[in-house]
């Protein structure tokens, strides 16, 4: 299951809407081994295409090095589909190279309703997973209750 804050979901959707009609893409980093998406990193779609996304290799290298320096990893790798549902294409599956990542897709086919779905992609197999959207402050309140 992917547990993600409302603020991060809103940022993914805003990025997808801003880049429409091209696909948007990016990463949400989190502390290594935590499975907690925390740091939103929008990236440039080097393909500048409505049907395909490609991380700019120079930007990806820079982001990857920055994550290593901060002891982070890509918890979420996201992109948008502009005319189809939020489900991984064959190309998406072939590009899925981080087995621990949650692959999040949004569809901007209907700009009023932008669904968000999350998948695990391992060895070409797609498994949809539940997404729990946590409202701001809910996580910290839960932590206080558990600690107190």
pLDDT tens-digit map of 67-111: 999 999 999 999 999 999 999 999 999 999 999 999 999 999 998
Q: 69 by DSSP, 3-state: which?
A: helix
Please state, in angstroms and rounded to a whole number, the distance separating the CA atoms of residues 21 and 53.
Answer: 12
Give the pLDDT band of residue 142 (cuts 50, 70, 90): very low
CA angle (85 as vertex; 81, 87 as ends), nearest 5: 85
pLDDT band at 141 (very low <50, low <70, confident <90, very high): very low
Question: How does pLDDT run across 33-77, given as a tens digit for each residue?
Answer: 999 999 999 999 999 999 999 999 999 999 999 999 999 999 999
pLDDT value of position 111: 83
Residue 144 has pLDDT above 60, yes or no: no
Which domains, and CATH codes, for the chain?
A: 2-147 (3.40.140.10)
CA 117 to CA 120: how far, in whole Å?
Answer: 11
β-pair type (116-122, 102-107): antiparallel
Whether the predicted pLDDT of 148 surpasses 60: no
Q: What is the mean pLDDT of the chain?
A: 92
**pLDDT computed for residue 136 by the predictor:** 74
How confident is residue 137, by pLDDT bands cut at 50, 70 and 90? Answer: low
Contact 8, 131 (CB under 8 A): no
Query: pTM to 2 decimals?
Result: 0.90
Q: At 133, is the secondary structure helix, strand, or coil?
A: strand
């Amino acid at each position: 299951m992917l547990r993600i804050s409302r603020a991060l979901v809103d940022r993914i959707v805003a990025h997808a809407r801003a880049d429409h009609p091209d696909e948007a893409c990016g990463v949400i980093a989190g502390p290594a081994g935590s499975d907690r998406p925390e740091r939103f990193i929008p990236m440039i779609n080097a393909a500048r295409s409505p049907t395909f996304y490609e991380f700019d290799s120079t930007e990806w290298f820079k982001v990857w090095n920055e994550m290593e320096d901060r002891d982070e990893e890509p918890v979420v790798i996201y992109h948008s589909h502009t005319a189809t549902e939020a489900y991984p294409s064959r190309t998406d599956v072939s590009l899925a190279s981080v087995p621990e990542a949650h692959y999040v897709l949004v569809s901007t086919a209907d700009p009023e309703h932008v669904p968000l779905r999350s998948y695990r992609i391992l060895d070409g197999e797609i498994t949809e997973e539940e997404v729990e959207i946590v409202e701001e402050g809910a996580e910290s309140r839960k932590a206080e209750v558990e600690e107190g």
